[in-house]
Every structure is written in C-alpha cells, then in structure tokens.
Amino acid sequence: MDDPDHVRYVPVRPARLVDAVVVRTGRLPDGGRVGIAFSRLDLLAAAMGDSQRWIRLSDSALRSMLTPLGITRTQLDPVLVAPDISTPSRPTETRSRAGAERRPALAARGSRA
C-alpha cells in the first residue's frame, strides 16, 4: 500500500451506540493487530462473504484511522478473514425427537450432526 491516494475496499461493522461504522481489523499469528483492505470488491466478497459491509477509503485515510489504535500494518487482499467476534452469536437450540432434551445446534453447513 504505497500510493496514499489509492482507494481500497475496507470491511466495516456497525458501531454500537452511534449511527456510524467501525473499520474491521484482524490479528496476526503473533497477536498483533492488522488493518484489512482489498483492491477489488470481488476479493472482499470471496474472503468475507457477499453480505460483508464495506466502505471505500484511500490508503492515507485508512492509515490515519488505524495509527491512533497502534496499528501500523495493513493486510491487502487477504484470502480468508475469520468472522467478527466482537458480537458473538448464541448457538440456536433444537429439540430432540422426544422433545425432552435440548442441545445447541453447532454442526457446520454440509457436515453431519
């Protein structure tokens, strides 16, 4: 990300208490935080899904948002991005055939429970 005026597709999530969005960040294997940006919208959708919200930001604007957070590195076009865990979802519950027992439905799509 050398060109400060180059525009990127940056994943965002809704802010909790205001009508705004928050730039999504990730973690490196060593635990350090990293910014996330994509050069093309189709690459963002492939890595994060079609429903991922995004905004367009220049490299310099993204850097100015991340620097106060202590984030100095941005990963461009990551192939896979883990789901946002800032708002964990609760497992859904299902009833057994007898109707007496409840268990969380945690099977992944396409797997056998």
Does residue 105 register a pLDDT over 60?
A: no
**pLDDT > 70? residue 60:** yes
Q: Sketch the domain layout of the chain as residue ranges.
A: 7-80
pLDDT at residue 49 is higher than 50: yes
Q: Residue 49: left if φ>0, alpha if ψ -120 to 50, beta else—which one? A: left
* Residue 11 CB neighbours (<10 A): 25
- Alpha carbon distance 5, 78 (integer Å): 21
